[in-house]
Chain A
Amino acid sequence: MPGESVFPALEPLLEQVSKPIQYVGGELNSTVKPWEVAGDETVRWALMYPDAYEVGVPNQGVMILYEVLNERPDALAERTYAVWPDLEALMREHGVPQFTVDGHRPVGDFDVFGLSFSTELGYTNMLTALDLAGIPLHAADRDDSHPVVVAGGHAAFNPEPVAHFLDAAIIGDGEEAVLAVTDIVGDWKREGRPGGREELLLRLARTGGVYVPRFYDVTYLPDGRIQRVAPNRPGVPWRVSKHTVMDLDAWPYPKQPLVPLAESVHERMSVEIFRGCTRGCRFCQAGMITRPVRERSITGIGEMVEQGLAATGFEEVGLLSLSSADHSEIADVTKGLADRYEGTNTGLSLPSTRVDAFNIDLANELTRNGRRSGLTFAPEGGSERIRKVINKMVSEEDLIRTVAAAYGAGWRQVKLYFMCGLPTETDEDVLQIAELAKKVIETGREVSGRRDIRCTVSIGGFVPKPHTPFQWAAQLGADETDARLEKLRDAIRSDKRYGRSIGFRYHDGKPGVVEGLLSRGDRRVGRVIEAVWRGGGRFDGWSEHFSYDRWVAAAEQALDDEPVDLAWYTTREREESEVLPWDHIDSGLDKEWLWQDWLDALDETEVEDCRWTPCFDCGVCPQMGTEIEIGPTGKTLLPLTVLGSGRERMAEHAH
Chain B
Amino acid sequence: MARQRTPEGPPPPPAVQKLRIRYAKRGRLRFSSTRDFSRALERALRRAGVPMAFSAGFHPHPLISYANAAPTGTASEAEYLEIRLAERVAPEAVRDALDEALPDGLDVLEVREAAPGALADRLEASEWEVRLRGVRPPQVEPALAAYLALERAETTRVVKSGPRTFDTREPVLDLRVAGVGEDGCAILRMVVRHTTPSVRPDDILTALRAVTGLAPPVPPLVTRLAQGPLRPDRAGVADPLATDEEVVGPEG
Contacts and interface: CB of A to CB of B under 8 A. Distances in A.
Contacts of A19: 33
B36 interface: yes
Contact of A650 (B37, B40, B89, B218): B89
- Interface size bucket, A side? 35 or more
Contacts of B48: 646, 650
B90 to A, nearest CB: 5
B198 to A, nearest CB: 19
A286 to B, nearest CB: 30
Looking at chain A's contact residues, the main secondary structure is: loop
A506 interface: no
A320 B25 CA distance: 35
Contact of A313 (B9, B42, B51, B87): B42
Nearest to A10: B28
Interface in B76-105: 87-90, 93-94, 97, 101, 103-105
Interface in A500-514: none
Interface in A243-299: 259, 261-263, 267
Interface in A606-650: 643-647, 649-650
A340 interface: no
Given A312-B43, A646-B97, A649-B97, A261 B87 contact: no
Interface stretch (A66-74, A207-215, A368-376, A459-467): A368-376
Interface in B83-141: 87-90, 93-94, 97, 101, 103-105, 133
Contacts of B31: 14, 20-21, 23-24
Contact of B90 (A263, A410, A452, A651): A651
Contact of A372 (B5, B44, B90, B101): B5
Contacts of B59: 370-371
A654 B90 contact: yes
Contacts of B29: 24, 26, 261
A21 B33 contact: yes
A372 B5 CA distance: 9
Interface in A295-348: 310-315, 343, 345
Nearest to B45: A313
Interface string A367-387: 011111000000000000000
Contact of A26 (B7, B28, B218): B28
B32 interface: yes
B73 interface: yes
B73 to A, nearest CB: 6
A28 interface: yes
A371 B5 CA distance: 9
Among A21, A259, A345, A643, which residue has the most Cβ atoms of chain B within 10 A? A21
Contacts of A651: 87-90, 93
Nearest to A16: B219
A15 interface: yes
A497 interface: no
B43 A259 contact: yes
Contact of B2 (A259, A370, A452, A649): A452
Contact of A643 (B44, B46, B73, B87): B46
- Interface size bucket, B side? 35 or more
A496 interface: no
A614 to B, nearest CB: 45
Interface in A411-468: 412, 452
A646 B36 contact: no
A27 interface: yes
Contact of A345 (B32, B60, B94, B218): B60
Given A12-B219, A345-B60, A27 B103 contact: yes
B72 A20 contact: yes
Nearest to A346: B46
Given A20-B31, A28-B103, A650 B94 contact: yes
A263 B43 contact: no
B49 A371 contact: no
Contacts of B50: 646, 650
Given A20-B73, A27-B103, A263-B36, A652 B88 contact: yes
B54 interface: yes
Contact of B46 (A14, A262, A313, A343): A313
A261 B32 contact: yes
Given A644-B51, A646-B48, A646-B50, A261 B39 contact: yes
A650 B33 contact: no
A262 to B, nearest CB: 6
A650 B49 contact: yes
Nearest to B58: A370
A647 B48 CA distance: 8
Interface string B241-252: 000000000001
A262 B28 CA distance: 13
A654 B94 CA distance: 12
A216 interface: no
B43 A645 contact: no
Given A410-B5, A652-B90, A655-B90, A263 B51 contact: no
Nearest to B88: A652
A314 B89 contact: no
Contact of B43 (A25, A313, A371, A654): A313
A568 interface: no
Contact of B54 (A345, A368, A652): A345
Nearest to A653: B90
A35 interface: no
A447 to B, nearest CB: 16
Contacts of A14: 31, 73
B35 interface: yes
Given A26-B103, A314-B43, A649 B36 contact: no
Contacts of B37: 261
A261 B49 contact: no
Interface in B1-54: 2, 5, 7-9, 28-29, 31-33, 35-37, 39-40, 42-51, 54
Given A20-B73, A26-B28, A644 B49 contact: yes
Contacts of A28: 40, 43, 103
Contacts of A311: 47
Nearest to A29: B103
A7 interface: yes
Interface in B57-81: 58-60, 72-73
A569 B72 CA distance: 47
B49 A645 contact: yes
B103 A312 contact: no
B71 to A, nearest CB: 11
Contacts of A259: 40, 43
Contacts of B47: 310-313
Nearest to B100: A646
A311 B100 CA distance: 12
A620 to B, nearest CB: 40
Nearest to B7: A370
Interface string A25-52: 1111000000000000000000000000
**Top 8 A-B pairs ranked by shortest CB distance?**
A646-B49, A313-B43, A313-B47, A15-B219, A313-B46, A24-B28, A20-B31, A644-B49
19 contacts: A14-B31, A15-B73, A19-B33, A24-B28, A26-B105, A27-B103, A259-B40, A261-B29, A261-B40, A313-B44, A313-B46, A313-B101, A314-B46, A345-B54, A647-B49, A650-B48, A651-B87, A651-B89, A652-B89
Given A21-B31, A21-B72, A652-B88, 9 more contacts: A11-B28, A28-B40, A261-B36, A313-B44, A315-B43, A370-B58, A370-B60, A650-B48, A651-B93
Interface of A: 7, 11-12, 14-16, 19-21, 23-28, 259, 261-263, 267, 310-315, 343, 345, 368-372, 410, 412, 452, 643-647, 649-655
Interface of B: 2, 5, 7-9, 28-29, 31-33, 35-37, 39-40, 42-51, 54, 58-60, 72-73, 87-90, 93-94, 97, 101, 103-105, 133, 218-219, 252
